[in-house]
């Protein structure tokens, strides 16, 4: 054991001291924090103003345009040609032309611009015009707009998930989906990143011929396990630093700009069916819902509903389990070949289950409790990725334990298999190895 | 002398061939033991078995009369033929790491390494990466790593490849010094000159079997072909006319004024009988028995015949005078 820990220490330190590790460790959380912070900040920081000139020949609509969301409207009394000239001189970014017959034929509406039209402005204009058309038509049909607005009832079913401990939380499937995909992808990337580090490490020892010196001191198994565990610790260290730094950076931003992340923990009013709400209460509810309808609000509430400790603990478990399972196979491949080019033929069976897991994760998020999701999250080759995809949706403890247990058995099996290939492979030079040869190594005691 | 290492009836089979077939060896304590044999004979397999890198299918190995066990790796130092180091790792750090794997603690390892580095003029390279070192310097580092933990058994597989003649000499002196200090050395090489120079004992392995084992001097005696080299001056008649059928002239060069020749004594005729006609008919300048070189013995044992021009050559080719 003493010698194995000496090996682990070397494998760990030699990688952690590399410049690439330091760079990745710092860049990772910056990127992740940026993913959280940038959309929030960008939403606040205004774009430059967008000037739209309006030439309304019909006179029906011009009063409906109020400056909003960095789009400024300027009604022009001139004809369209003059407006276009003004745009050409740079006075306006775009010109909206509403012809006389626009009310009868909305398709005659035109928005001119010299560059590609700002999408936001176009959506805003369309929205304003749509509402205006509606109210004009209502008026035309003799319907009181006030009445209509009151009849309109926004229906927004709140999905409540009853957790294992009986606590009720609001369910945001979009957030669970996003989080599931991201953590599944992260597991996939981590397994490949650190698995191929194991492969390259084994190959380096073999091609530099240092392996023969080492195996005269320690058993090949100790060398293999030492390398796998050393590299695994590097991965774990990197992940923990990432998590810590990401929360730290996001925390600093929250502290520095609290208003950006303002989110009132939602005091959901659970309404019993017998209770009749007054108009006033109904109005309050509506405002509350509208407030939460904003993207940032939803994101923040959804994220706050996620059980991060559980996510992180299960991420670490499934990362380590999946890594150990695949790293052993990577080590076996590294030992069996003489150079990196020869690894290709053996990479396929290792890559396919992982790729399958990533491809299937789209199916899994749409039906996280279906049979496909269940089986893929139980079978050890795909379970690390698929289980991480499922966990944000909630997975019964029994399934988690079954999957975890099988993963442990799975990596012990691949380690056993890899050890048998490894101890023969590392001392075998200049021989093209095929699957039959590998099978001989495994079966030959 | 007691045997430090005893191998008994070692058999090792690979998937499609037998690498060692019933090989037994005794390596006397404090000897330099040459393990010889052509490429692919099974030497490396035997060395790997002694190093417990692989296990034999049959047979046993004893070190100091104890069954070879995992803990014995700390008493063995092994310099493989195909050897390398981590290229990106610093020299001193790497040497310490490999010493730790041999069971030394960090403090002792560093202390011993500093001494050895000083002795081999490597101290300035302690903090350099291995890839910055010349091949010769890397070999020195590997040699130090092999001997650092003061093993009682040292195994050198082609230790001199990659060294210049000066460093080969330094290394030979170190090896002799290690033996003097009590180490037993297994020395595997194709360089027969260094075998003659260093080895007390040898074993020859060919086609997975041991075909020869013993003390170098005895083996040479056994293989001596009773061939004598004579140098004569002022001969009264040609050499071939001096000799009767108890002798055979193998080679002869020179004139009647000065001749050098090789003569094989046939049957059990005493060597003195050869001297008599020579002393009578010429002036004898030199007379000595030729012993075959290890090189000749090696080739004879492996191919079944001595190489041409060797001491044992039977062909007659007397140059016409």
Transcribe A98-131 into DSSP letters: E-GGGTT-GGG-EEEESSPPPHHHHHHHHHHHHH
pLDDT, position B319: 39
The distance from CA B131 to its chain's CA centroid, rounded to whole angstroms, is 31
> Residue A225: is its pLDDT beyond 90?
yes
Cα–Cα distance, A49 to A26 (Å, whole number): 36
In a domain, B318, yes or no: no
List the single residue in B with minimal CA-CA distance to A201: B86
Confidence of residue A303 (pLDDT cuts 50, 70, 90): low
Q: Which of A3, A429, A444 sits opposite B101 (nearest CB)?
A: A3
Given CB atoms, is B70 within the 8 Å cutoff of chain A? Answer: yes
The residue of B101, B127, B135 whose CB has the most chain A CBs within 10 angstroms, and thus the best one to mutate to test that interface, is B101
Residues B105, B240, single domain; the answer is no
- For residues A96-104, average pLDDT: 82
Question: Is the CB of B84 less than 8 angstroms away from the CB of A427?
Answer: no
Cα–Cα distance, A201 to A78 (Å, whole number): 75
Domain spans, chain A: 2-35+173-443, 50-135
Count of structural domains, chain B = 2
In a domain, B311, yes or no: no
Name the superfamily (CATH) of residues A50-135: Periplasmic binding protein-like II (3.40.190.10)
Residue A84 structure tokens: 């276009």
B71-104 as b/e, with b when 16 or more CB fall inside 10 Å? ebbbbbbbbbbebbbbbebbbbbbbbbbbbbbbb
The pLDDT tens digits for B145-201 are 999 999 999 999 988 887 888 889 989 999 999 999 999 999 998 888 888 888 999
In a domain, B317, yes or no: no
Tokens 């035109």 sit on residue: A110
Residue B80 structure tokens: 């493989």
In a domain, B87, yes or no: yes
Lowest average pLDDT, out of A254-268, A350-364, B235-249, goes to A254-268
Confidence of residue B1 (pLDDT cuts 50, 70, 90): low
Write the CATH number for B107: 3.40.50.300
Q: Which of A210, A427, A440 sits opposite B53 (nearest CB)?
A: A427
The pLDDT tens digits for A128-146 are 888 888 888 888 888 877 7
Put simply, the chain B residues between 250 and 309 with a CB less than 8 A from any chain A CB are none
Q: Which domain holds residue B7?
A: 3-220
- Taking the CA of residue B69 and the nearest CA in chain A, the distance in Å comes to 12
- For residue B266, give the DSSP letter: P
pLDDT, position A226: 95
Residue B222 structure tokens: 């056994």
> Residue A360: is its pLDDT beyond 50?
yes
Question: Is the CB of A212 less than 8 angstroms away from the CB of B100?
Answer: no
The pLDDT tens digits for B195-253 are 888 899 999 998 888 888 888 888 888 887 788 888 988 888 888 888 888 888 888 88
Q: Among residues of chain B, what percentage have pLDDT more than 70?
A: 94
Total residues belonging to chain A: 445
Q: Tell me the chain A residues in contact with residue B76 when contact means C-beta distances shorter than 8 Å.
A: 216
In a domain, B154, yes or no: yes
Which has the closest alpha carbon to A426: A228, A219, A191? Answer: A219
> Residue B94: is its pLDDT beyond 80?
yes
Q: How far is CA A173 from CA A293, A367, A394, in A?
A: 14, 11, 11
Given CB atoms, is B51 within the 8 Å cutoff of chain A? Answer: yes
Residues B175, B283, single domain; the answer is no
Residue B48 structure tokens: 């790997």
- Taking the CA of residue B3 and the nearest CA in chain A, the distance in Å comes to 22
The residues, ordered by sequence, that sit 6+ positions from B6 with a Cβ below 8 Å of its Cβ are B24, B25, B26, B27, B61, B62, B65
Cα–Cα distance, B83 to B87 (Å, whole number): 12
Q: Among residues of chain B, what percentage have pLDDT more than 90?
A: 35
Confidence of residue A267 (pLDDT cuts 50, 70, 90): very low
* Domain stops at, among B220, B245, B268: B220
List the single residue in B with minimal CA-CA distance to A437: B15
> Residue A414: is its pLDDT beyond 90?
yes
Contact in structure between B302 and B206 (CB atoms under 8 Å) = yes
Q: Among residues of chain A, what percentage have pLDDT more than 90?
A: 26
Cα angle for residues B35, B40, B43 (degrees, 5° grid): 25
- Taking the CA of residue B74 and the nearest CA in chain A, the distance in Å comes to 7
Helix and strand tally (H, E) in chain B?
Answer: 10, 14
Confidence of residue A264 (pLDDT cuts 50, 70, 90): very low
Q: Which of A7, A205, A212 sits opposite B83 (nearest CB)?
A: A212
pTM of the model: 0.75
Residue A316 structure tokens: 């670490």
The distance from CA A253 to its chain's CA centroid, rounded to whole angstroms, is 21
pLDDT, position B78: 94
- For residues A315-333, average pLDDT: 93
Question: Is the CB of A213 less than 8 angstroms away from the CB of B80?
Answer: yes
Q: Residue A16: helix, strand or coil by DSSP?
A: helix
Burial of B181 by CB count in 10 Å (0-12 exposed, 13-18 middle, 19+ buried)?
exposed
ipTM confidence score: 0.80
Question: Is the CB of A6 less than 8 angstroms away from the CB of B142?
Answer: no
The residue of A7, A9, A205, A217 whose CB has the most chain B CBs within 10 angstroms, and thus the best one to mutate to test that interface, is A217
> Residue A296: is its pLDDT beyond 60?
no
Cα–Cα distance, A226 to A7 (Å, whole number): 5
Q: Tell me the chain B residues in contact with residue A10 when contact means C-beta distances shorter than 8 Å.
A: 97
Confidence of residue B308 (pLDDT cuts 50, 70, 90): low
Write the CATH number for B274: 3.30.70
The most confident of the ranges A56-60, A107-111, A208-212, A260-264 is A208-212
Q: Which of A10, A207, A215 sits opposite B97 (nearest CB)?
A: A10
- Taking the CA of residue A319 and the nearest CA in chain B, the distance in Å comes to 29
pLDDT, position B313: 47
pLDDT, position A266: 44
Residue B208 structure tokens: 């997975």
- Beta strands B76-79 and B153-157, pairing class: parallel
Q: What are phi and psi of A262, to 5 degrees?
A: -55, 125
Question: Is the CB of A215 less than 8 angstroms away from the CB of B15?
Answer: no
Cα angle for residues B227, B231, B237 (degrees, 5° grid): 100
pLDDT, position B321: 37
Confidence of residue B13 (pLDDT cuts 50, 70, 90): confident
């Amino acid at each position: 054991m003493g010698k194995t820990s000496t090996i682990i220490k070397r494998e760990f330190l030699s990688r952690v001291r590399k410049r690439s590790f330091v760079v990745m460790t710092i860049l990772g959380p910056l990127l992740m924090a940026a993913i959280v912070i940038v959309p929030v900040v960008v939403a606040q920081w205004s774009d430059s103003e967008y000037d739209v000139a309006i030439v309304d020949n019909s006179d029906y609509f011009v009063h409906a345009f109020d400056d909003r969301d960095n789009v400024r409207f300027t009604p022009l009394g001139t004809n369209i040609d003059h407006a276009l000239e003004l745009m050409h001189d740079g006075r306006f970014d775009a010109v909206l032309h509403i012809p006389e017959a626009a009310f009868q034929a909305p398709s005659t509406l035109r928005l001119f611009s010299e560059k590609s039209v700002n999408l936001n402005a176009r959506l805003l204009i369309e929205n304003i015009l749509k509402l205006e058309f509606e109210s004009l038509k209502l008026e035309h049909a003799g319907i009181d707009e006030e009445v209509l607005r009151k009849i309109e009832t926004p229906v927004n079913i709140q999905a409540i998930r009853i957790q294992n401990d009986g606590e009720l939380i609001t369910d945001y499937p979009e957030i669970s989906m996003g989080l599931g995909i991201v953590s599944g992808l992260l597991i996939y990337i981590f397994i490949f990143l650190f698995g191929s580090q194991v492969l390259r490490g084994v190959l380096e020892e073999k091609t530099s011929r240092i392996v023969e010196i080492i195996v005269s001191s320690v058993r090949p198994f100790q060398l293999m396990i030492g390398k796998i565990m050393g590299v695994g610790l590097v991965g774990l260290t990197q992940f923990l630093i990432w998590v810590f730094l990401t929360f730290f950076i996001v925390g600093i931003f929250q502290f520095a700009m609290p208003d950006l992340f303002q989110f009132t923990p939602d005091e959901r009013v659970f309404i019993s069916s017998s209770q009749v709400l007054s108009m006033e209460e109904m109005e309050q509810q509506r405002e509350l819902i509208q407030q939460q309808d904003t993207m940032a609000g939803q994101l923040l509430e959804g994220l706050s509903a996620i059980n991060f400790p559980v996510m992180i603990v299960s991420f670490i478990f499934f990362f380590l389990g999946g890594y150990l399972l695949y790293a052993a196979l990577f080590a076996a491949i590294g030992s069996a070949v003489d150079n990196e080019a020869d690894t290709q033929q053996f990479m396929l069976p290792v890559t396919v289950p992982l790729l399958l897991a990533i491809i299937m994760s789209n199916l899994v998020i749409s039906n996280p409790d279906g049979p496909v999701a269940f089986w893929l999250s139980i079978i050890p080759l795909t379970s690390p990725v698929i289980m991480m995809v499922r966990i944000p949706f909630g997975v019964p403890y029994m399934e988690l334990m079954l999957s975890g247990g099988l993963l442990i058995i799975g990596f012990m099996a691949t380690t056993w298999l890899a050890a048998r290939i490894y101890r023969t492979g590392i001392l075998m030079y200049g021989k093209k190895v095929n699957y039959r040869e590998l099978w001989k190594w495994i079966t030959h005691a | 002398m007691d045997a430090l290492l005893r191998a008994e009836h070692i058999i090792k089979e690979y998937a499609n061939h037998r690498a060692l077939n019933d090989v037994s060896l005794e390596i006397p304590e404090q000897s330099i033991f040459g393990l010889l044999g052509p490429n692919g004979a099974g030497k490396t397999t035997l060395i790997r078995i002694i190093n417990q890198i692989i296990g034999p299918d049959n047979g046993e190995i004893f070190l100091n009369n104890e069954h070879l066990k995992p803990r014995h790796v700390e008493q063995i130092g092994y310099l493989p033929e195909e050897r390398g180091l981590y290229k990106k790792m610093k020299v001193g750090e790497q040497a310490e790491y490999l010493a730790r794997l041999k069971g030394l603690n960090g403090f002792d390892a560093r202390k011993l390494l500093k001494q050895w580095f000083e002795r081999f003029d490597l101290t300035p390279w302690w903090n350099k990466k291995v890839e910055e070192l010349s091949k010769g310097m890397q070999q020195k580092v590997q040699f130090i790593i092999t001997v650092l933990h003061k093993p009682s058994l040292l195994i050198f597989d082609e230790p001199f490849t990659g060294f210049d003649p000066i460093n080969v000499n330094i290394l030979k002196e170190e090896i002799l010094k290690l033996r003097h200090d009590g180490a037993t050395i297994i020395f595997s090489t194709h360089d027969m000159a260094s075998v003659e120079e260093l080895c007390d004992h040898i074993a020859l392995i060919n086609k997975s079997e041991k075909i020869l084992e013993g003390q170098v001097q005895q083996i040479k005696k056994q293989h001596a072909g009773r061939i004598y080299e004579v140098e004569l001056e002022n001969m009264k008649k040609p050499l071939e006319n001096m000799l009767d059928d108890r002798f055979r002239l193998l080679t002869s060069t020179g004139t009647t004024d000065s001749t050098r020749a090789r003569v094989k004594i046939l049957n059990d005729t005493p060597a003195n009988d050869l001297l008599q006609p020579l002393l009578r008919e010429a002036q004898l300048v030199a007379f000595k028995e030729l012993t075959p070189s290890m090189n000749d013995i090696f080739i004879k044992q492996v191919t079944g015949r001595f190489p041409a021009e060797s001491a044992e050559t039977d062909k007659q080719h007397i140059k016409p005078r």
